[in-house]
Amino acid sequence: MYEMQITEYFDAPIGKVFDAITDHENFFGGAPLFCEVAVAGEKDRNGIGAVRKITVLGFVFSEEVTEFERPSRVAYIVRNVVSPTGWGHQAKSERGSMTFTKSGNRTKVVWKTQLAMPFPLPFVGPSIEKLTSESLGQFCRYLLRRTKLYLEQGIRDQAIQKESTQALSR
C-alpha cells in the first residue's frame, strides 16, 4: 500500500481554496484528466455521498466522498480502480483526505491518501505498483499547484481590476 502526504500553501482565502478543490469536475478536469460526478452528494453536489469517476491515462477511479466539512475537511474512499487493460479490483482500505487550515494570510492544504494498485504479474508487479503509485503522488502535487496558480492569479487580476476601476473613477 502506498501512502502519500502533500502539503501546499495558497495565497488565497480558505473558503475559495476549499471550493476550488472540492469542485470535482473542475479540480480533476483538463487534459489528461476527465471527471464526472456520477452520483450527486446528499446536501451538496460534491459533498457526502457524491461518487466521482476520475479518468487519468486510461485508469478509471471511482471514489465516494465520506466527509465534507466546509471549509476545513473533505475525505473519500476509493471504491474501484480499473486499468487501461480492463483489469480492475475492488478497493478495501484505500482512502484519502484533504484538510484546510488558515496559516496567517494563507491557506494550508494537506492531502493524505492510501492507495493499493496491485498488478497481478509475477516478479514485476510490485515494481509496477510502486512506480504507478509514485507517479500518482506527483500528479496529485501537480493538481494542487495548478489550482494554486489559478486562484492566486485570479485574486491578483481582481485586485488590478479594482485598482484600475478606482483610478478611472477619480
Q: Which residues pair with 53 in a beta bridge?
A: 36, 62
pLDDT in tens, the chain (170 residues): 678 899 999 999 999 999 999 999 888 877 778 899 999 999 999 999 999 998 887 878 889 999 999 999 999 998 887 777 766 655 445 789 999 999 999 999 999 988 665 555 566 656 656 656 666 778 888 889 989 998 888 766 555 565 655 655 65
Nearest to 52, CA basis, from 41, 68, 43, 42: 41
- 130: domain CATH number is 3.30.530.20
Is residue 116 a contact partner of residue 96, using CB atoms and an 8 Å limit? Answer: no
Beta strands in 27-124 (DSSP E): 33-39, 51-56, 59-69, 73-82, 88-90, 95-103, 106-115
In total, how many domains does the chain have? 1
Output the pLDDT for position 36: 92
- pLDDT given at position 98: 97
pTM over 0.85: no
Q: Which residue has the cell 502519500?
A: 4
State the pLDDT at residue 23: 94
Instruction: Give me the domain span that covers residue 61.
Output: 2-168
